[in-house]
Chain A
Amino acid sequence: MNRGALRAFIVKELRHILRDRQTLTILLLMPLVQVVLFGFALRSDVRDIRLAVVDASPDYATIALRQRFTSSGRFTVVAVARTRDVIEPFFRRGEADVALVFEPGFGEHLTGTEPARLLLAVDASDPNTGTVIQSYSRAVIAAYESDLSSGRGGVQIAMETRMRFNPTLESVNLFVPGLIALVLTLVSALMTAISLSREKERGTLEVLLVSPLRPIQIIIGKVLPYLGLAFANVLTALLAAWLVFHVPFRGSVLLLLAESIVYSLVSLALGVLIAARTSSQRAAMLAAMLVTMLPSALLSGMIFPIASMPGWLSPVTNIVPARWFIVIARGIMLKGVGLPYLWRESLVLVVMALVLMAAAVRSFKPRLA
Chain B
Amino acid sequence: MRTLRFLLRKEFLQIFRDRFMLRLSIVVPIVQLLILSSAATFEVRSAKVYVVDRDHSSTSRGLIDRLGASRRFIVTDASPSMELANEAMLARKVSVIVSIPNDFERDIVRAHSAKVQLVFNAEDGATAGVTQSYAGQIVAEYARELGAAIMPLAKAAPKMEIRARGWYNPELDYRDYMVPGILVQLVTVVGTLLTAMNIVREKELGTLDQLSVTPLPQGVFIAAKLIPLWLIALFELTLGLVVARFVFHVPMLGSIPLVFGAAALYLIAALGIGLFVSTLAATQQQAMFVTFFIVMIYLLMSGLFTPVRSMPEWAQWITQVNPVKHFIEIMRAVLLKGAGFTDVLKPLGALAAFGVLVLALAVRQYGRRVG
Contact = CB atoms under 8 A, between A and B. Distances in A.
Interface stretch (B5-13, B144-152, B260-268): B144-152
B283 to A, nearest CB: 8
Interface in A117-173: 117-132, 134-139, 141-142, 145, 148-149, 152-171, 173
B152 to A, nearest CB: 9
A304 B121 contact: no
A124 B172 contact: yes
A93 B342 CA distance: 9
Contacts of B340: 92
Contacts of B150: 153, 155
Contacts of A115: 159-161
Given A118-B163, A128-B130, A153-B151, A298 B301 contact: no
Given A40-B312, A124-B166, A92 B177 contact: no
A119 B160 CA distance: 11
Contacts of B174: 127-128, 308
A34 B300 contact: yes
A93 to B, nearest CB: 5
Contacts of B296: 30, 34
A142 B286 contact: no
A33 to B, nearest CB: 6
A9 interface: no
A115 B170 CA distance: 26
Interface in A157-214: 157-171, 173-174, 194
B169 A22 contact: no
Contacts of B365: none
B306 interface: yes
A169 B120 CA distance: 11
Contact of A282 (B20, B159, B162, B309): B20
Nearest to B28: A290
B118 A161 contact: yes
A63 interface: no
Contacts of A149: 154, 157-158
A34 to B, nearest CB: 7
B323 to A, nearest CB: 16
Nearest to B337: A92
Most buried by B among A37, A40, A161: A161
A170 B128 CA distance: 11
B169 A160 contact: no
Given A92-B343, A124-B166, A155-B143, A162 B90 contact: no
Interface in A222-255: none
Most buried by B among A168, A307, A310: A307
Given A125-B169, A126-B307, A282-B20, A157 B113 contact: yes
**Chain B interface size range:** 35 or more
A330 B125 CA distance: 13
B167 A127 contact: no
Nearest to B176: A125
A294 B40 CA distance: 12
A145 B159 CA distance: 8
B235 to A, nearest CB: 19
Contact of B172 (A37, A127, A171): A127
Contacts of B20: 282-283
Nearest to A282: B284
B294 to A, nearest CB: 10
A160 B137 CA distance: 14
Interface in A16-61: 20, 22-23, 26-27, 29-30, 33-34, 37-38, 40-48
A120 B162 CA distance: 7
A43 B161 contact: no
Interface residues of A, number: 105
A160 B39 contact: no
Contacts of B329: 94
B139 A313 contact: no
Nearest to B140: A142
B129 A43 contact: no
Interface stretch (A66-74, A334-342, A349-357, A361-369): A334-342
A115 B158 CA distance: 8
A47 B293 contact: no
Interface string A62-104: 0000000000000000000000000001011110010000000
Nearest to A334: B123
B90 A337 contact: yes
B224 to A, nearest CB: 22
Given A124-B168, A128-B130, A298 B35 contact: yes
Contacts of A125: 167-169, 176-177, 332, 336-337
B131 to A, nearest CB: 10
Contact of B125 (A26, A110, A145, A173): A173
Interface in A287-339: 289-290, 294, 298-299, 303-305, 307-310, 312-313, 327, 330, 334-335, 337
Contacts of A40: 312, 315
Nearest to A317: B39
Contacts of B115: 157-160
Most buried by A among B40, B108, B168, B318: B168
Most buried by B among A111, A130, A157, A309: A157
Given A118-B160, A127-B173, 11 more contacts: A92-B340, A115-B160, A119-B162, A128-B174, A134-B164, A156-B114, A159-B136, A161-B119, A164-B121, A304-B40, A341-B90
Interface of A: 20, 22-23, 26-27, 29-30, 33-34, 37-38, 40-48, 89, 91-94, 97, 110-111, 115-132, 134-139, 141-142, 145, 148-149, 152-171, 173-174, 194, 281-283, 285-286, 289-290, 294, 298-299, 303-305, 307-310, 312-313, 327, 330, 334-335, 337, 341
Top-10 shortest CB links A-B: A169-B125, A124-B166, A163-B122, A135-B133, A44-B126, A153-B151, A153-B154, A41-B315, A127-B172, A115-B161
16 contacts: A29-B293, A34-B300, A45-B125, A89-B343, A110-B160, A115-B161, A118-B161, A118-B162, A121-B165, A135-B134, A136-B133, A153-B112, A162-B119, A174-B123, A298-B35, A312-B38
Interface of B: 20, 24, 28, 32, 35-36, 38-45, 63, 89-92, 108, 112-130, 132-137, 139-140, 142-144, 146-147, 150-151, 154, 156-170, 172-174, 176-177, 280-282, 284-286, 288-290, 293, 296-297, 300-301, 305-307, 309-312, 315, 318, 329, 332-333, 336-340, 343-344, 346
